[in-house]
Amino acid sequence: MSHCNYANKDSMARRIVLCLQYDGSNFCGWQRQKQGLTVQGVLEESISTLDQYLPIKLVAAGRTDSGVHAAGQVAHFDCFGPIPACRWASALNGRLSKDIRVLEAIEMPSDWHACYSAIYRRYRYTIYNGCQPNLFLSPWSWHRYQVKLDTELMQFALQSMIGFYDFSAFQRSGSTRSHAFTTIQDVQIERQGDLINIEIQASGFLYGMVRLLVGQLVALGEHKLTIQCFERLWKDRLRDQVKESAPSKGLCLLRVGYKNQIFSNSSFYDFLPKYSLANIDPPRDPPPF
């Protein structure tokens, strides 16, 4: 059967959905670019070696920026070849570099969409607030050591943002969105010793939103910004006054939610472990700031 005839039989197409993780340190983000290594580009090339009937287009639930990691990214593609869905994870992992891993692959109906079927995305940002640098935490966290952050104030500020609002104050230039409205569904800030985890869940995120927001939260936590000024920034959409963006290396796409959970818990739920300082012995008072 010729390439053209085979490809035109739409009923033979199968939608394969991947749950995957990647270390974004060496990638110029998710989206394929003319220059620079991207997660989408690497994956599409690997998939094409296994299914050569049509050009492969991989659609992700969220387009992570350069240097941003993912623990539970979801993406789909249509294929025509004979490889069963359950074999795609192992087949791809044998061709991918060590900084991308496919956790699970399943088949879904053709009208299911990794991006448009999603009901939430959840990100985690990790801050290391200790005085001394930590070699092992460095690739995955922002070392912000000058002042002990006021996480209670940061939590209070985040809590007021839950709901459907215009968050254009936290949108980087270059976005193609027609508006800046989205719904923040849940926020959490947890401190454990010198480690701070900030989790934000929303129906969708604007371009650069989490990093710009975390940058302002840190200024608030260092008491460089008052709670009144922070609220005025986003409520009055004062984008020109939002200056600092948190580094990309501390940010990870934790997971993507759908109406029905489609992946197993072992592959999908909270696959990014929280760093822990609980086993340090003996306990010591935090160093002065």
Report the catalytic residues.
65
Residues present in the chain in total: 289
How many helices and strands, by DSSP H and E, does the chain display? 7, 10
Three-state DSSP class for residue 186: strand
**Is 185:120 a contact under the CB 8 Å cutoff?**
yes
**Is 154:227 a contact under the CB 8 Å cutoff?**
no
Per DSSP, what are the bridge partners of residue 17? 76, 106
Side-chain half-sphere exposure of 185, counting CA atoms within 13 A:
12
**Is 184:163 a contact under the CB 8 Å cutoff?**
yes
Neighbours of 242 (CB within 10 A): 21
* Cβ contacts of 273 within 8 Å, gap of 6 or more: none
**Is 101:9 a contact under the CB 8 Å cutoff?**
no
Identity (one letter) of the amino acid at 114?
A
Beta strands 69-79; 251-258: pairing state: parallel
Per DSSP, what are the bridge partners of residue 59? 76
Torsion of CA 211, 212, 214, 216, to 10 degrees: 160
Three-state DSSP class for residue 79: strand
